[in-house]
């Protein structure tokens, strides 16, 4: 049998580092291959019990057998031969462990990678439950019934890539898929689908997952999205009007207008009136604090501090509701929000109720003391807005109003800290939602235009306070 077909290990001594060099026994052999000729392989056995005696004319180390008993941790030739089989076995185990991920990466489906990515986002990265729910909805299988209504999921991502080996998807396939999405989705939604697939592949590229080589989405084009709409919000007088309509039970009145009048007993009417008054106070607190709706829903009385003279107070934002779970606030940034007198007075009126005023009780509760549902709050806000004859500004517009008013009055840095934004650029949007008369005054002053009688810009306003 030729050497190229010899799979039994031979023993050889190799020189390591050092002067004189350290000697090691190695097992060398030819490893059979599934196809083609065998390939040479070697595996270190351990330190050799030999002495270095010099080098030959080709610079190779020369060794002689060392006398004395072989200590633990060293090998003579006899021990090395006995250990060679175990050394070969270690080599083969290491090769199998190294090749297994590569084999798995070549066959793992996109669906499996996506499922693992969602778990990793939730358990390792700490993504909010709402974010996980949003991503999971876009990763549903085609035809999956919606949680509400009679519709079914389009399953655009899984329908295109779910059954495919993730490593086989090409840049051209992703580009063609995106062009098909262009036919039915807005640029923003196309980009959302694209980003999710890109993030899934970024996860699959990690060396601790599947070590895929390359991300087929990275080379595709992001769609140009239209600029964000101008920020619109209610003024204080408008929110007060809305709060009064909510306190008057606007959503219940609208139900009666739909032909569904219901006769209630005295106790039930008292509960409903208390709930309606709470809705009005909630909308006031959202305006005067700039809280996110999820932060307000998670608020407890222990998070509220009133100033002794009731001129204002502090709201300690410790948590927020995301989907159906409580978690730290957005970006995991607890903060303390100073609030003005109207917010403190609204909270004090709520605290005067008979039940649910303990430290651990929610500030905004339903009739049994549980926190309010997001959908119920939005439904009541819409009814109160329509009853007040106000324009179509979303509930989140109360937060926009707070941000805009604070930014214009106290500056964007203060507004950023109150709102809990991670970036100042996010807060800067609120500076340009409506006409700023101070900015107009500054422009008039810059061009030497004198104010005239009847102008909306006061004559004494100058550029110093315009924030330009």
Higher pLDDT, 351 or 267: 351
Q: What's the pLDDT at 305?
A: 97
Task: Give the pLDDT confidence score for residue 150 in this predicted structure.
Answer: 81
Is there a contact between 123 and 105 (Cβ–Cβ < 8 Å)? no
Q: Which residues pair with 109 in a beta bridge?
A: 165
For residue range 101-114, what is the model confidence (pLDDT) as tens digits? Answer: 666 667 899 999 99
Over range 420-432, report the average pLDDT: 83
Q: What is the pLDDT of residue 166?
A: 94
Using one digit for the tens of pLDDT, what is the confidence trace for 320-348? 999 889 999 988 889 999 999 999 999 99
**Which pLDDT band, with edges at 50, 70 and 90, does 254 fall under?**
low
The percent of residues above 70 in pLDDT, for the chain, comes to 90
User: To the nearest whole number, what is the mean pLDDT of the chain?
Assistant: 88
What local confidence, expressed as pLDDT, does residue 259 receive?
A: 52
Q: Above 80 in pLDDT, residue 463?
A: no
Average pLDDT over residues 51-68: 88
- Mind listing the pLDDT tens digit for each residue in 284-305? 999 999 999 999 999 999 999 9
Res. 139 pLDDT band, cuts 50 70 90:
very high
- pLDDT computed for residue 433 by the predictor: 66
Answer yes or no: is pLDDT of 99 > 90: no
Lowest mean pLDDT among 43-47, 98-102, 161-165: 98-102
pLDDT at 37 (0 to 100): 84
Predicted pLDDT of residue 50: 92
pLDDT at 146 over 60: yes
Q: Percent of the chain scored above 90 by pLDDT?
A: 56
Which residues, including other chains, have CB under 8 Å from residue 468's CB and lie 6 or more apart? Answer: 439, 442, 443
Nearest CA among 215, 163, 156, 152 for reference residue 190: 156
């Amino acid at each position: 049998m030729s050497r190229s077909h010899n799979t039994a290990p031979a023993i050889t001594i190799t020189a390591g580092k050092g002067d004189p060099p350290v000697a090691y026994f190695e097992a060398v052999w030819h490893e059979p291959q599934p196809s083609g000729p065998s390939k040479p392989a070697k595996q270190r056995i351990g330190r050799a019990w030999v002495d270095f005696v010099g080098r030959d004319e080709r610079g190779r180390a020369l060794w002689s057998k060392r006398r004395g008993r072989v200590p633990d941790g060293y090998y003579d030739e006899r021990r090395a031969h006995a250990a060679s089989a175990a050394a070969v076995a270690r080599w083969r185990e290491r090769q199998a462990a190294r090749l297994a991920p590569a084999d798995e990466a070549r066959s793992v489906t996109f669906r499996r990678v996506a499922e693992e990515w969602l778990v990793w986002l939730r358990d390792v990265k700490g993504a909010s439950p709402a974010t996980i729910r949003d991503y999971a909805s876009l990763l549903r299988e085609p035809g999956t019934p919606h949680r509400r209504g009679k519709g079914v999921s389009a399953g655009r991502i899984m329908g295109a890539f779910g059954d495919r080996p993730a490593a086989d998807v090409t840049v051209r396939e992703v580009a063609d898929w995106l062009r098909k999405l262009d036919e039915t989705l807005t640029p923003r939604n196309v980009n959302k689908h694209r980003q999710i697939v890109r993030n899934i592949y970024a996860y699959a590229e990690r060396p601790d997952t599947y070590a895929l080589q390359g991300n087929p989405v990275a080379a595709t084009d992001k769609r140009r999205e239209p600029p964000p709409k101008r920020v619109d919000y209610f003024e204080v007088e408008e929110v007060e009007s809305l709060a009064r309509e909510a306190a008057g039970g606007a959503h219940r009145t609208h139900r009666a207008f739909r032909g569904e009048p219901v006769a209630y007993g005295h106790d039930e009417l008292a509960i409903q009136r208390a709930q309606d008054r709470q809705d009005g106070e909630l909308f006031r607190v959202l305006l005067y604090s700039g809280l996110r709706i999820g932060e307000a829903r998670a608020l407890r009385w222990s998070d509220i501090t009133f100033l002794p003279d009731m001129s204002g107070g502090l709201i300690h934002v410790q948590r927020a509701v995301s989907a159906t779970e409580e978690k730290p606030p957005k970006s995991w940034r607890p903060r303390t929000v100073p609030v003005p007198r109207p917010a403190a007075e609204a909270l004090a009126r709520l605290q005067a109720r008979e039940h649910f005023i303990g430290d651990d009780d929610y500030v905004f509760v339903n009739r049994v003391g549980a926190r309010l549902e997001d959908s119920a709050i939005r439904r009541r806000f819409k009814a109160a807005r329509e009853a007040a004859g106000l324009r179509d500004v979303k509930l989140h517009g109360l937060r926009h109003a707070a941000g805009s008013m604070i930014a214009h009055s106290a500056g964007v840095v203060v507004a950023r800290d109150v709102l809990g934004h991670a970036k100042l650029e996010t807060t800067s949007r609120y500076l340009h939602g409506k006409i700023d008369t101070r900015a107009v005054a500054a422009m008039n002053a810059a061009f030497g235009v004198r104010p005239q009688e009847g102008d909306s810009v006061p004559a004494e306003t100058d550029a110093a306070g315009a924030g330009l």
